Structure 1
Amino acid sequence: MTRKGNSHLRRRVAREAALLLYTLQEKEFKQAKEKAARTLGLKILPSNFEVAEELDRIADECEGEERWSRLIRMRREALKIMELLSAFHPKLIGSVWRGTVNRNSDIDIDVFSQDWRLVVEVINKSGLKILSIETAPLEKDGSGRTIHIFVDLPSGDKAEIIVRKIEDLNKVELCDIYGDVKKGLTTNQLKAVLEKDPLQRFVPKRRMR
């Protein structure tokens, strides 16, 4: 198969996988890619990056300008939450950081504390509604632990506050979708983005195969 033909097939699978994610038929990239390949009768699996690009295109096609007003709103909401949780070194991550939000996105914020109950106490005092609190492994091998606090916001948006240990504050981690370092935004960095370019994106360029 020619390189051009292979690229075309990869994009077909990536597009199908992205549709599965966008319509919430699948939640994880791996399962979405495998199901997409089976549906199309192909044995080619695109990278997570390629699927993310197609997901971005689908969101543009389906949501138009509303998508960008959503991004600004969610970044402003994130800033309020981060200011509320300033004692816990908050960092904005996920699609609201990246600038790739779609209608299914929530606000993801890492905070750092040796006692997750202190974070819950601050949220409760603020009047925000906690929907649930869950425990999840930190690493892919199941080791470590993070506490996930799911919060309902007045706008109807949702936020997920991930409580991690203090020693993880300066830990360098690679993104399993884009392959770059997950830097995120601190409170001051987010303020600067909202002031200078509220639609700024933080997505690396993909290396062409």
Structure 2
Amino acid sequence: MRRRVAREAAILLYRSQEKEFKQAKKRAAEILGARVLPSNLEVAEELDRIADEFEGSERQERLVQMRREALKLMEFLERFNPRLIGSVWRGTARRNSDIDIEVFSADPEEVLEEMRRRNLEVVEVERVTASGNHGVDESTHIYLALESGVKAEIIVRSPEKIGEERLCEIYGDPVRGLGIKELRRVLREDPLRRFVP
């Protein structure tokens, strides 16, 4: 039953009927009349299988293209110590995934100004406060619409957060991500490489 709930939750996420793992698991359990909830990892593994089933080789091509676009964005934002995180870093990106990049600046307006200078289309700016491994974490999320149709989310964190270890809510491992040099190397040597435990 646990696996059925994980698969149902993954389907809800894949079809964008739910955006968050927690809500998808609860709704899947309700749909199936189950009381057991799978882990985020179990849902992520099912989501990966579903994406492979529906997208095939197109998924791999999309990942490489998204990593190239991420590199271009990171080069634009180089002075803010960018790191590629999320599904494009992990190698698990699927249809409707966005590019997640974290940058570090005491003034999010500086990052926004750089984006405007580069003629990037800023769709929304949101201030987010969340409790994390090291207390309260405040960040600014800048959502972009890229010319290719891909969406990107730039997360602006305080410079004091550089090098701070955060655990992934899905995989439970440290979110290391890739810097510019590391991403260039991945694209050159193994563009489909996965970073999952």
- What's the TM-score bracket when you normalise by the shorter of the two chains? over 0.9
CA shift, 1:35, in A, is 1.0
Residue identity in the other structure for 1:105: S
Bigger strand fraction? 2
What do residues 82-132 of structure 1 show as CA deviations (whole Å, max 9, x unaligned)? 011000000000000000011110000000000011101111011111111
CA shift, 1:139, in A, is 2.2
1:1-209 aligned at under 5 Å gives the runs 9-139=1-131, 143-204=136-197
What SS does the aligned partner of 2:136 have? coil
CA shift, 1:140, in A, is 5.2
Aligned CA RMSD, in angstroms, stands at 1.3
Residue identity in the other structure for 1:123: M
TM-score by length of 1: 0.91
What do residues 34-56 of structure 1 show as CA deviations (whole Å, max 9, x unaligned)? 11111111111111000000000
Residue identity in the other structure for 2:16: L
Whole-angstrom distance in 1 between the partners of 2:34 and 2:184: 46
Larger radius of gyration: 1
- Runs of 4+ in structure 1 deviating by more than 4 angstroms, as ranges, are none
**Identity percentage of aligned residues:** 59
Aligned length: 196
Whole-angstrom distance in 2 between the partners of 1:189 and 1:169: 16
Whole-angstrom distance in 2 between the partners of 1:91 and 1:128: 18
Whole-angstrom distance in 2 between the partners of 1:85 and 1:43: 46
What SS does the aligned partner of 2:172 have? coil
Whole-angstrom distance in 2 between the partners of 1:156 and 1:38: 34
CA shift, 1:138, in A, is 3.7
Whole-angstrom distance in 2 between the partners of 1:195 and 1:139: 37
Gaps of 5+ in 1: 1-8, 205-209
Residue identity in the other structure for 1:203: V
Whole-angstrom distance in 2 between the partners of 1:154 and 1:121: 19
